[in-house]
Structure 1
Amino acid sequence: MRRALAGLTTRGRSFVAAGATAILCAFVLGERDLLRAGVLVLVLPLLCTLAVSRTRYRLACARRLDPPRLPVGREARVDLRLENVSRLPSGLLMVEDRVPYALGGRARFVLDRIEPHGKRELGYRIRSDVRGRYRVGPLTVRLADPFGMVELVRSFSLSDRLTVTPAIVPLPHERLAGAWKGGGDSIASAVSAAGEDDVTPREYRHGDDLRRVHWRSTARHGELMVRREEQHFQSSGTLFLDTRRTSHWGDGMAGSFEQAVSVTASIGVHLVRTGMNLRYVTDAGEALPAASADGGFEGLLLDALAIARRSKGGSLSPGLAVLRGRAGKSRDGDGLIIAVFGALSGEEARSVAAARRGAGTCVAVLVEAHGTAGSPSPQDGGAEPVSAQAAGLLRAGGWRVVIIRSAAELAGAWAQAGQAGEDFVRDGS
């Protein structure tokens, strides 16, 4: 009852105040009619409070997000199912699902009545132009009397997570020359190096193609022998993102950091879908270990990029140390390294260039901010832009360099990056 009294609405409190005032005035003035009216006005909200406090029906709630992960700017649908699991019909219900402001604000519904064991299906749409991980729910139900005197709030504990990933730019089906090297062994390369006689055969099995029969081994062993199936290369690569606060300029979607995150997501999704094993590294070190598409790397990468924030660190050393350590384990380097940077100083560019080992393909994507403060432009007395200086140092170290100003320019730059043996600079102006 105490909880119900605390749930009196403004109308209910006004009735209580008016009734108490009328009763007091009736005693002072000796007016019986005023006393009757005051008692009626005072008792009505109290009776409503008693009725709502004795409500014993129970409600069950279920929620479904479709889809639970989506890119920025896309819509998701939220489906709610509210069920009355008691034997009593419900009264007037005001239902509100708590939704972060970035997803569109509150979702409210009014239900007149739910019969015993009845169900109600509710739905609404949400969208966000800002990547991140958002909590949808819990659902709150406001119980009210027909006169609007009392309102009690009951909340469910169920909530769901919606992940809004960076914008993905579709890339052309271009393979970077020299990128498809890796840690697998190929029988075809072994044959070309050692000769056909040195290929290890195996016994013939029912269903094997007769064109793969190895006749010399068959004559030697006295039974049908076939060549082993060719093992494909296990291509691997590294995706590097510079998250340092000092290397990015601008806020919001137009800032260089948001564009860099979108570029990283686009390249990562493209490479995973082409069958490459990737790992994700930032300036702070390894963020996600190497995995293939079968291992769910695409989802893990998008989840990580959805909550990526600018780091307070000012050095690339931890991340570059991971690149050097991995590259040092293989004669061909890391297979493929694609690094996405903001602004790089000359010293930082030299450190990045030195991270390349062996014959691995390394591509640096430099994301320029519009109107970057402190960066000299070509019109400033012929001074060379910071990005151009860094690009020259990286190219001298064997890196291919791409300079873009937004993720929208990545598709055209990627097509040029696929040209064999050609280093270039893509100017987004």
Structure 2
Amino acid sequence: MRLAKVVLDALTTRGRSFIAAGFTAVACAFLLGEQELLRAGLLVLVLPLFSVFAVSRTRYRLACARRLGPSRLPVGHEARADVRLENVSRLPSGLLLVEDRVPYTLGGRARFVLDRIEPLGSRELSYRLRSDVRGRFKVGPLTVRLADPFGLVELARAFSLTDTLTVTPLTVELPPGSIPGAWHGEGQSLARTLSTAGEDDVTPREYRRGDDLRRVHWRSTARYGELMVRREEQEWQSRAILLLDTRRAAHTGEGPGSSFEQAVSVAASVGIHLAREGLPLRFVTDAGRSADLSAGSGSASGDELLDVLAVIGQSDDTALLPGLAAVRGSGRDGEALIVGIFGRLTAEEARSVAAARRGTAIGVAVLLGRDQRTDGDAAGFLRGAGWRVLALSSVAELPAAWAGVQGVPGAQ
């Protein structure tokens, strides 16, 4: 029974048709007493079985490698997959049907037909990948089907190798420069130099390559047994907090044009801009989940944010309070620039958002959705509480609006 199942699984539609035709011819030969028909029926019946045996005895070995370029790309852009298939045995291969498993979102399966691969030879295959939705997609594994010359039999051999393609949100370029009043910098606050601190008040640290030897703190060096230098100023750097409202009830529309997808694109655009300006980032959602991206800097921090936003989805939560609590607990007064990207906000929610900005911190609220322009209660309350409000219909309006926040002349 198991052998019969293996044979049936290996047969193609043509092979099964041959089997059926063979049985029919043999049966008719016995009924009609026709010897010639019997011989023809046996030949048609045996040929698929012989092909199964011949293909299953194939001893050549194959190796596979795949490369995605690039492995991360924005929505609507194309990537290229290059596949290298090698015959590492000393026997030539037969007919090969090669199929790389690709999600339907990226364009469906990639299929190729290879006549043969010579011993120790290889073949290069390539195809395009494109997605109009963001996400993280698995490409592969590669499946090779061994076929006989008559197309009666196919046996599948699958590789375990897979690769991941990350499709990030659509972003727009924002005008260079920082927002006036949003302090950030390194070593510009809480500086303590030797001119204002005594020798015993200086906090030492380990010697780093390139440090001036005149800053060696000999007393600490003797105490710790390793070279220590004076920390003449305590490093201080503010950070930006990026809050994204993912509540399903706060957003309208479906697909790439929905207010949620526009909000994700706004968050990606602002986050990349702030990372390029040198601000460490902390990303927070309405549910209170956060990711500290300050370990990276510049493009590294921006890429990490894009990876997070590539897979973020809408939540069924109805309250902003967990996210706002995470924002309030992310820094001290006056340290952070807070950028919140929201869908619809009620007047009560606007009050809660306004309270998240403390001290001299700069707050920028981006309101997405068509009704934000007509329903100005939330926007008016936030402006009255000192927030800078941008009411947008899509991410395409962000550069001009952001330039206005920065005070660029002529910006609207």
Contact 1:4–1:53 under 8 Å retained in 2: no
Could you tell me which amino acid in structure 1 is paired with residue 380 of structure 2? Answer: G
Q: In the alignment, which residue of structure 2 is the partner of 1:324?
A: 328
2:189 and 2:164 map into 1 onto residues whose CA distance is 47
1:139 and 1:151 map into 2 onto residues whose CA distance is 15
Contact 2:107–2:131 under 8 Å retained in 1: yes
How do residues 99-178 of structure 1 correspond to structure 2 at under 5 angstroms? 99-178=102-181
1:282 and 1:344 map into 2 onto residues whose CA distance is 15
Q: Deviations over 1:60-99 (max 9, x none)?
A: 1111111111100111110101111222211000101011
- Secondary structure at the residue paired with 2:18? helix
Indicate how the Cα distance of structure 1 residues 277 and 199 shifts in structure 2: closer, same or farther if over 3 A, else same. farther
- Secondary structure at the residue paired with 2:328? helix
Paired residues in the alignment total 387
Q: In the alignment, which residue of structure 1 is the partner of 2:221?
A: none
Residue 407 (structure 1) aligned with residue 395 (structure 2): yes
Indicate how the Cα distance of structure 1 residues 292 and 176 shifts in structure 2: closer, same or farther if over 3 A, else same. farther
How do residues 55-66 of structure 1 correspond to structure 2 at under 5 angstroms? 55-66=58-69
Matched-pair identity in %: 59
Contact 2:278–2:297 under 8 Å retained in 1: no
Indicate how the Cα distance of structure 1 residues 40 and 198 shifts in structure 2: closer, same or farther if over 3 A, else same. closer
Q: In the alignment, which residue of structure 2 is the partner of 1:223?
A: none
- Following superposition, the deviation at residue 180 of structure 1 comes to 2.2
Could you tell me which amino acid in structure 2 is paired with residue 186 of structure 1? Answer: Q
1:188 and 1:396 map into 2 onto residues whose CA distance is 31
Please give the root-mean-square deviation of Cα atoms over the aligned residues, in Å: 2.9
Give unpaired runs (5+ residues) of structure 1.
Answer: 209-226, 378-384
Residue 14 (structure 1) aligned with residue 2 (structure 2): no
Which deviates further from its counterpart, 315-324 or 258-267? 315-324
2:115 and 2:174 map into 1 onto residues whose CA distance is 51
Residue 301 (structure 1) aligned with residue 309 (structure 2): no
- Following superposition, the deviation at residue 185 of structure 1 comes to 3.8
Contact 2:75–2:170 under 8 Å retained in 1: yes
Contact 1:276–1:292 under 8 Å retained in 2: no
Q: In the alignment, which residue of structure 2 is the partner of 1:418?
A: 406
Could you tell me which amino acid in structure 2 is paired with residue 321 of structure 1? Answer: A
Q: Deviations over 1:338-395 (max 9, x none)?
A: 01001100000011001110001110011124xx5xx8x8xxxxxxx32x11111101
- Secondary structure at the residue paired with 1:253? helix
- Following superposition, the deviation at residue 293 of structure 1 comes to 3.5
Contact 2:51–2:153 under 8 Å retained in 1: yes
Indicate how the Cα distance of structure 1 residues 199 and 342 shifts in structure 2: closer, same or farther if over 3 A, else same. farther
- Following superposition, the deviation at residue 150 of structure 1 comes to 0.7
Could you tell me which amino acid in structure 2 is paired with residue 390 of structure 1? Answer: A
- Following superposition, the deviation at residue 21 of structure 1 comes to 1.3
1:197 and 1:40 map into 2 onto residues whose CA distance is 102
Correspondent of 2:252 among 246, 249, 253: 249
- Secondary structure at the residue paired with 1:26? helix
- Secondary structure at the residue paired with 1:55? coil
2:380 and 2:116 map into 1 onto residues whose CA distance is 71
- Following superposition, the deviation at residue 30 of structure 1 comes to 1.4
Q: In the alignment, which residue of structure 1 is the partner of 2:344?
A: 343
- Following superposition, the deviation at residue 196 of structure 1 comes to 5.7
- Following superposition, the deviation at residue 290 of structure 1 comes to 4.4
1:396 and 1:61 map into 2 onto residues whose CA distance is 62
Residue 354 (structure 1) aligned with residue 355 (structure 2): yes
Contact 2:192–2:233 under 8 Å retained in 1: no
Q: In the alignment, which residue of structure 2 is the partner of 1:259?
A: 262
Q: Deviations over 1:375-416 (max 9, x none)?
A: 8x8xxxxxxx32x11111101111111111110111111111
Contact 1:259–1:367 under 8 Å retained in 2: yes
How do residues 160-239 of structure 1 correspond to structure 2 at under 5 angstroms? 160-181=163-184, 184-186=186-188, 233-239=236-242
- Following superposition, the deviation at residue 230 of structure 1 comes to 7.4
Q: In the alignment, which residue of structure 1 is the partner of 2:319?
A: 315
Contact 2:81–2:127 under 8 Å retained in 1: yes
- Following superposition, the deviation at residue 189 of structure 1 comes to 6.4
1:164 and 1:207 map into 2 onto residues whose CA distance is 42
Indicate how the Cα distance of structure 1 residues 28 and 187 shifts in structure 2: closer, same or farther if over 3 A, else same. closer
1:412 and 1:361 map into 2 onto residues whose CA distance is 19
Q: In the alignment, which residue of structure 1 is the partner of 2:378?
A: 390
Contact 1:256–1:368 under 8 Å retained in 2: yes
- Secondary structure at the residue paired with 1:114? coil
Could you tell me which amino acid in structure 1 is paired with residue 340 of structure 2? Answer: A
Give TM-score, length-normalised by structure 1. 0.83
Contact 1:95–1:108 under 8 Å retained in 2: yes
- Secondary structure at the residue paired with 1:81? strand
Correspondent of 2:42 among 31, 39, 42: 39
